[in-house]
């Protein structure tokens, strides 16, 4: 129970291997769904297709013989929308409330736009359930263009769609920020500007509880969660520290990375994190890159470019609007090192990055000269 009138009816998914076909979710995933009981009854969102029957059971059990009046569709991504048809068949008098774009997507997904059973919600429109008055705010690109969030002024609850969500099922205890940050930068990170635009729309609302489509309901210390979202969506570093992301073929680049990390720690760098891009979770490395204020990229020259995992990583940063950080480079190349030049070129359209003057070049293996350059780079980063 979230409030006297609002109940949770979502499901946990521990069968999933990759969320959205790419994100590792060792602790599963939650697809959240809610019901508001009032003179009229509104259900918020469905769940992933695999859990349609279980979810419909939750809905019926919670309704306890009552009939829902509305299905409110916040987001059309199938992890939330897959069971719209199932719901409307089970409750033939219920109407669907969603943005116009969401109805167009329903037609594309299900061949049906529910004409005659649909209420199109525009930004700022309201729907009264009785004492609960719902106001809809469009939230384009947080995370798809059709998204809307809903504010219930009676219980002061924000139904926030994908915003404030995280990886992980709800029957597992884990730190919120770590998996929420990985989720944010993986899924919504490119759309910081749109998150800020949504914040402007919501400015002035008295929010006591946030009900997202993934992750736990947030009802305490909301300033903490709102503050982190504000930092993330403004692309500001959250902490001082250096993240070193590298690839290494025979261990020589790795050795340089380890020397740099040791030197940074010795010089009192508050936090040094290392990611081997060939072996770590790429989404975790992206998360780290956005978390700290400095990053060092170390890789080999490969096929006249750079090692593939580094290519993938930098592409991931650039497409998410990586900025407001200091960047250092370490390159390795036995006969024609050009990885640093190539990495820098990958950021050429990125504004708001500061580059270290020192570039460490390894010619096959670390030697005294390289060690001196590593020290210089460490000094610059401190």
Interface residues with ligand FEO (CB under 6 A) are: 75, 77, 79-80, 143, 162, 213-214
Nearer to ligand FEO, 75 or 291 (CB): 75
Q: How far is the CB of 213 from ligand FEO (least distance, A)?
A: 5
Q: How far is the CB of 103 from ligand FEO (least distance, A)?
A: 17
Q: Which residue is nearest to ligand FEO (CB)?
A: 77
In 3-state terms the chain splits into helix, strand, coil percentages (rounded to 5) of 35, 25, 40
How far is the first Cα of the chain from the last one, in angstroms, to the nearest whole number?
A: 49
Full DSSP string of 209-257: EEE-SSS--B-S-HHHHHHHHHHHHTT--SEEEEEEEE--SSSHHHHHH
Characterize 168-184 residue by residue with b for buried, 16 or more Cβ atoms within 10 angstroms of its Cβ, and e for exposed.
bbbeeeeebeebbbbbb
Give me the residues paired with residue 12 across strands. Answer: 30
Nearer to ligand FEO, 229 or 246 (CB): 229
Q: How far is the CB of 138 from ligand FEO (least distance, A)?
A: 15
As a whole number of angstroms, the distance between CA 155 and CA 109 comes to: 33
Nearer to ligand FEO, 132 or 143 (CB): 143
Which tokens belong to 199? 């914040």
Q: How far is the CB of 142 from ligand FEO (least distance, A)?
A: 9
Nearer to ligand FEO, 77 or 284 (CB): 77
Nearer to ligand FEO, 165 or 241 (CB): 165
Residue whose tokens read 């920020």: 177
Nearer to ligand FEO, 165 or 337 (CB): 165
Q: How far is the CB of 35 from ligand FEO (least distance, A)?
A: 19
Q: How far is the CB of 187 from ligand FEO (least distance, A)?
A: 6
Phi, psi angle pair for 272, to nearest 5°: -125, 125
């Amino acid at each position: 129970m979230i409030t006297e009138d609002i109940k949770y009816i979502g499901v946990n998914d521990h069968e999933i291997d990759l969320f959205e076909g790419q994100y590792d979710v060792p602790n599963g995933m939650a697809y959240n769904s809610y019901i508001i009981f009032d003179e009229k009854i509104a259900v918020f969102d469905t769940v992933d297709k695999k859990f349609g029957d279980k979810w419909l059971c939750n809905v019926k059990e919670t309704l306890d013989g009552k009939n829902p009046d509305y299905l409110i569709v916040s987001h059309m991504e199938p992890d939330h929308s897959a069971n719209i048809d199932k719901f409307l068949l089970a409750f033939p008098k219920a109407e669907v409330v969603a943005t116009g774009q969401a109805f167009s997507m329903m037609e594309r997904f299900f061949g049906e736009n529910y004409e005659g059973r649909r209420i199109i919600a525009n930004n700022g429109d309201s729907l009264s359930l009785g004492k609960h008055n719902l106001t809809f705010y469009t939230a384009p690109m947080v995370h798809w263009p059709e998204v809307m969030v809903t504010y219930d002024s009676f219980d002061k609850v924000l139904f926030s769609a994908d915003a404030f969500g995280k990886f992980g099922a709800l029957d597992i205890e884990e730190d919120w920020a770590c998996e929420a940050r990985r989720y944010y930068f993986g899924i919504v990170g490119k759309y910081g500007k749109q998150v800020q635009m949504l914040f402007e729309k919501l400015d002035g609302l008295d929010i006591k509880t946030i009900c997202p489509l993934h992750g736990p309901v947030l009802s305490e210390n909301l300033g903490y969660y709102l503050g982190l979202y504000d930092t993330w969506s403004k692309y500001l570093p959250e902490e001082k520290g250096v993240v070193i992301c590298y690839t290494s073929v025979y261990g020589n680049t790795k050795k340089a990375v380890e020397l740099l990390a040791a030197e940074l720690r010795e010089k009192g760098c508050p936090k040094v994190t290392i990611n081997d891009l060939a072996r770590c979770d790429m989404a975790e490395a992206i998360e780290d890159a956005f978390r700290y204020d400095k990053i060092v990229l170390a890789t080999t020259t490969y096929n006249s470019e750079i090692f593939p995992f580094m290519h993938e990583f930098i592409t991931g940063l650039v497409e998410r609007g990586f900025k407001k950080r200091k960047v250092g480079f370490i390159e390795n190349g036995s006969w024609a090192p050009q990885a640093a030049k190539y990495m820098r070129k990958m950021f050429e359209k990125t504004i708001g990055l500061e580059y270290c003057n020192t570039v460490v070049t390894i010619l096959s293996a670390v030697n005294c000269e390289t060690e001196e350059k590593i020290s210089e780079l460490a000094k610059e980063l401190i």
